[in-house]
Amino acid sequence: MSALSSRLFEREVIVCVGAGGVGKTTVAATVALQAALSGKRAIVLTIDPARRLANALGLAELGNQATRVELPDAPGELWAMMLDLKRSWDEFITRTVSTEHRDAILRNRFYQTLSSSLAGSQEYIATEKLYELHSSGRWEVLVLDTPPTQNALDFLDAPRRILDFLGNKPLRRLLAPALVAGRFGLRLFQMGGKAILEGLSRLTGIETLEELARFLVEIQPTYDAFKERAAKVRELLASDRAAFLLVTTAHGTPVEEAISFHRMLVEAKTNVAAVIANRVHVDHLGELSLPSPEELADELLREGVPDSGQPALSERLARTLREMRALASLDARNLERLAASVHPTPQVRVPRFPADVYDLAALRMVADHLFSRS
């Protein structure tokens, strides 16, 4: 099994992607920690750290604040930031939209969709924030932990969706003249798409149509700024200054997702540094055969350990080993499929620890498995 080398930190931007709950946040924090230990000024942008991990990183409730994590033995620096996605959107709008339009946009219901529930909006603003921090030049290595998506592919799709949302020309053409002319409701039905608009208004009500028209008109002057910015973000992520780490567990569904996500990343010509299989069940027996309760009973006798209890200790031990092997071999089969599908991208495995990973000591343990000691 391979491991990551500190050459990874020649990249300025490292993005951890994968399905929800697989360990993206854990891996992102570990990678930033290791970067700091190898002498870099590093920051991890986390989205949804477990509370105890957030505490361990010294992250207060306050979002979007870079916080230094004290690491007395590190030649570099470790920083962390908890991303507040809604606030990042508001800040982004405030930065890019002229003051006269700003408040109306922030109040518009369609801006609420854009900034919270629209598919891809979280991914978009997370990469946007990454770009902003990267441009500041304060850090040498930036590690981005991505939001949990329903579909891992949302991440690559995000900028396109957002731009579609903002730049939908036919829709704008249809609605804008009506709005500009005022008396929206009346005008609407005198226009070309009468039947369509009538049908639509029966589905959703006329007020909704009006509000959307208003939003599209208001956001218009900033569309180009959005587009330019999205292009730059995409350029950075596709360049050799960036690397992706694809995180998964060894479970069936996440492995399937990782395989298809890997294909998309490769097709998008991004640089996938490694596929990380996290929480892999290990078989402590290794190559040894599974012992029967009788065999264990004999060994207990030889070691002078009483085979007591109900059921007997030997039986409970045999059962525990059997369960361990079943979990490990199921994982191994899934990981073989993964390895074959993502070849030649290196695959790195991190074992499943008996307890959650929520402090710096545990992150160091993860680092020992992720990075080679050389």
Ligand X SMILES: Nc1ncnc2c1ncn2[C@@H]1O[C@H](COP(=O)(O)OP(=O)(O)O)[C@@H](O)[C@H]1O
Residue of 11, 26, 80, 127 that binds ligand X (CB under 6 A): 26
Could you tell me which stretch among 3-11, 45-53, 184-192, 229-237 binds Mg ion (CB under 5 A)? 45-53
Could you tell me which stretch among 78-86, 97-105, 322-330, 342-350 binds another protein (CB under 8 A)? 322-330
Binding status of residue 336 toward another protein by CB under 8 A:
no
Length of the chain: 374
Binding mask 233-272 for ligand X (x = CB under 6 A): ------------------xxx-------------------
Positive or negative CA dihedral for 310, 311, 317, 323? negative
Binding status of residue 256 toward Mg ion by CB under 5 A:
no
- Provide the minimum distance between the beta carbon of 281 and ligand X in the complex, in angstroms, as a whole number: 10
- Provide the minimum distance between the beta carbon of 174 and another protein in the complex, in angstroms, as a whole number: 6
d(CA 35, CA 29): 10
- Provide the minimum distance between the beta carbon of 26 and ligand X in the complex, in angstroms, as a whole number: 3
**Among another protein, ligand X, Mg ion, none, what binds residue 184 when CB lies within 5 to 8 Å by partner kind?**
none
Binding status of residue 228 toward another protein by CB under 8 A:
no
Binding status of residue 177 toward another protein by CB under 8 A:
no
Binding status of residue 350 toward ligand X by CB under 6 A:
yes
Residue of 269, 310, 355, 373 that binds another protein (CB under 8 A): 355
Binding status of residue 148 toward ligand X by CB under 6 A:
yes
Q: Give the helix ranges, DSSP H, for 38-98.
A: 51-56, 85-96
What are the CA-CA distances from residue 208 to residues 172, 211, 360 (Å)? 14, 5, 50
Which CB sits closer to Mg ion, 48 or 132?
A: 48
Residue of 39, 41, 48, 201 that binds Mg ion (CB under 5 A): 48
Q: Which helix (H) or strand (E) holds 274?
A: strand 272-280
Q: Which string of b and e fits 295-320 if b means at least 16 CB within 10 Å?
A: ebbeebeeeeeebeeeebbbbebbee
Write the DSSP string, 248-269: E-SSHHHHHHHHHHHHHHHHTT
Binding status of residue 21 toward ligand X by CB under 6 A:
yes
Binding mask 309-348 for ligand X (x = CB under 6 A): ----------------------------------------
Q: Give the helix ranges, DSSP H, for the chain.
A: 24-37, 51-56, 85-96, 99-107, 109-112, 121-136, 154-166, 169-180, 184-188, 194-204, 206-219, 223-238, 252-267, 293-303, 313-342, 360-370
> Can the peptide bond before residue 311 be classed as cis, meaning omega within 30 degrees of 0?
yes
Which CB sits closer to ligand X, 94 or 320?
A: 320
Binding status of residue 188 toward another protein by CB under 8 A:
no
**Among ligand X, Mg ion, another protein, none, what binds residue 309 when CB lies within 5 to 8 Å by partner kind?**
another protein
Residue 151: count of CB within 10 angstroms of its CB: 12
257 in Cβ contact with 275 (< 8 Å): no
Q: Which of 130, 152, 95 is nearest to 242 (CA)?
A: 130
Residue of 320, 336, 343, 372 that binds another protein (CB under 8 A): 320
Site for ligand X, rule CB under 6 A: 20-26, 50, 148, 251-253, 278-279, 350, 352-353, 356-358
